[in-house]
Amino acid sequence: MSKVVLFLNGQAPSKMPETKSFEKIFCTDGAYLYLRNKGIVPDVVTGDFDSISSSEIPNDIEVILTPNQDFTDFEKALRIIKNRKYETVYVYGSSGMEHDHFLGNLTSALKYKDELTIIFFDDYSYYFFADKETSLDGYKGRTISLYPFPKTERITTKGLKYALENEDLDLTHRIGIRNQAIEEEVKIIFEKGNLLIFIKI
């Protein structure tokens, strides 16, 4: 499975991932600054370059200018990654600063969830949009939150402390945060809607 990492201009992770495990390192223009300070050289820098000038990027790094203001830099980066036939994207720097950007990033990920496997990471958890059948292995004792986006219908869980059996989650009524894995394998199945799964690091 082809896997890349994408750094966004949110809160920089306190501990950087091991970038050698990825085929390519992508970043938006604002994120380039903190990567440079950390000594990480991206393969591709993309964005509208409102944070820095493209002339600041060394010539051996690919620069893709995406000036269309109808879409966020994150969504435009996802489109580039999809068009280059990568399958999995680890995303850092999506949260921690401006909350409207964070929610916008989740919405952009939702648009691409059937075409890319997108996993967000921050200093506290990692999270992703679940498939209608999801298995999680090796998480016994870990905090797991199930967050409808905005609604998840007929959800059933196995291996969680507070089990669900053919129930609905809805932002306006009931959500499933701060649950706990009580078995090594957790299974989550739902029939309709969208579900974010947060796993505490």
Estimate to the nearest angstrom the gap between the alpha carbon of 189 and the chain centroid. 20
Q: Where in the sequence of the chain do the CATH 3.40.50.10240 domains occur? A: 3-123
Over residues 165-181, mean pLDDT: 96
Which residues, other chains included, contact 137 with Cβ-Cβ below 8 Å and sequence gap of 6+?
Answer: 184, 185, 186
Question: How many angstroms separate the CA atoms of 177 and 161, rounded?
Answer: 12
CB atoms within 10 A of CB 134: 16
Q: What are phi and psi of 195, to 5 degrees?
A: -135, 125
pLDDT the model gives residue 119: 98
Domain 3-123, CATH homologous superfamily name and number: Thiamin pyrophosphokinase, catalytic domain (3.40.50.10240)
Give pLDDT tens digits for 89-117: 999 999 876 788 899 999 999 999 999 99
For 30: left if phi > 0, alpha if psi spans -120 to 50, otherwise beta; the answer is alpha
DSSP letter (8 states) at residue 61: S
SS3 135: strand
Domain 130-200, CATH: 2.60.120.320
Distance of alpha carbon 63 from alpha carbon 57, whole angstroms: 8
pLDDT at 100: 86
- Where in the sequence of the chain do the CATH 2.60.120.320 domains occur? 130-200
Taking only the tens place, the pLDDT of each residue in 3-22 is 999 999 999 889 999 999 99
